[in-house]
Amino acid sequence: MNTNAKESLVMTGLAVGFFGLAGAFALTLWAKPLEPVVNPPTPPDFTNTATVRQSPAEIYRTEGDTSGFSCYSCHDAKKKLEIHLDTNGEAILAEPHKDLVMRHGRKNRNDYCFNCHDAKNLEQLRVNEGQTFKLTEGNRLCGSCHGPTYRDWERGVHGRMQGFWDLSRGASAKSDCTSCHDPHAPSFPPIKPGPRPHALHPEPAAGETPKHTP
């Protein structure tokens, strides 16, 4: 092979190689950008700041439905209220109170209506010592038994706070006991957790271990 033919071959090879590269670069045949991940939006329940329930004080304040607090629209004020027990020793509740669940206290032993409600005036609350409170003053009734928790609550350490930490700039609002706790079953109810962190890669199939957790 003479030198001219050799040079010709090298040059043709180079040209083909370069054009191939140019084409590959232009079409980005490798290192294609990954499809962007699009995560589903978080349901708005997980960002709203509402309490899990509403206390009577809150219902009055927000002008909600207070019909449930007027006991004497059904009960007779003149007649003494008596509690009838079934054979298991459970109170027999009238139809409007059927959904009531009593789970208060260790072993649910604080299960007597008139431990907290005033038997003489059903629209009032009453502690054992005889002091009575309005329905909207429930916090003090709770505090009559739960002293340390009430002390923490007064200092803003137990329970929810909203507003301003700097009281010179604005007010901070505590929540009532019954804004979070059902007085008849006070332990905080189990709730649905928010979505977990999304993996950077598609979720693995069942039984497969994830390659990478976020």
Partner 1 sequence: MADHTCNCGGNGANSCASGKPSTPESGKVDRRSFLRKSVVMTAGLAAVAASLAPLRDLTDLGSVDQFLQKHYKELTPAEMEKALERIRGEVSRQYGLRPHLRDLKPMDGVEFVYCLNLTRCVGCRKCVHACVAENNQSRSPEIQYIRVVKMPNGTFDMERGDHTYAPETVPEKGFFYMPVQCHQCKNPPCVKVCPVDATWQEKDGITVIDYNWCIGCRYCEAACPYFARRFNFATPSIPKDQINANMSYLGNRPRQKGVMEKCHFCIQRTREGKYPACLEVCPTGSRKFGNILDPNSEVSYILKNKRVFVLKEEVGTLPRFFYYFDV
Give dist(CA 205, CA 179) in Å, integer. 41
Quick one: which segment of 71-79, 94-102, 116-124, 155-163 binds partner 1 (CB under 8 A)?
155-163
- Tell whether residue 207 is a contact of partner 1 (CB under 8 A): no
CB 208 to partner 1: min, Å: 14
- Tell whether residue 88 is a contact of partner 1 (CB under 8 A): no
- Tell whether residue 48 is a contact of partner 1 (CB under 8 A): yes
Q: Which residues contact 107 (CB under 8 A, 6 or more apart)?
A: none
Looking at the Cβ atoms of 90 and 152, the one nearer to partner 1 is: 152
- Tell whether residue 29 is a contact of partner 1 (CB under 8 A): no
For partner 1 (CB under 8 A), the number of binding residues is: 61
Query: In this structure, are residues 187 and 180 in contact, taking their beta carbons and an 8 Å threshold?
Result: no
62: nearest Cα among 184, 150, 192, 173 = 173
Q: How many residues does the chain have?
A: 214
- Tell whether residue 190 is a contact of partner 1 (CB under 8 A): yes
Q: Which residues contact 74 (CB under 8 A, 6 or more apart)?
A: 94, 96
Q: In a 3-state reduction of DSSP, which class is residue 180?
A: helix
- Tell whether residue 73 is a contact of partner 1 (CB under 8 A): no
Give the largest CA-CA distance in the chain: 127
Quick one: which segment of 5-13, 94-102, 110-118, 137-145 binds partner 1 (CB under 8 A)?
5-13
CB 133 to partner 1: min, Å: 22
Looking at the Cβ atoms of 68 and 195, the one nearer to partner 1 is: 195
Burial class (CB in 10 A: 0-12, 13-18, 19+), 199: middle
Q: Which of 62, 67, 87, 165 binds partner 1 (CB under 8 A)?
A: 165
- Tell whether residue 157 is a contact of partner 1 (CB under 8 A): yes
Q: Which residues contact 96 (CB under 8 A, 6 or more apart)?
A: 74
**Site residues (CB under 8 A) for partner 1?**
3, 7-8, 11, 14-19, 21-26, 28, 36-39, 41-42, 46-49, 51-52, 152, 155-166, 168-170, 172, 175, 180, 188, 190-198, 200, 213-214
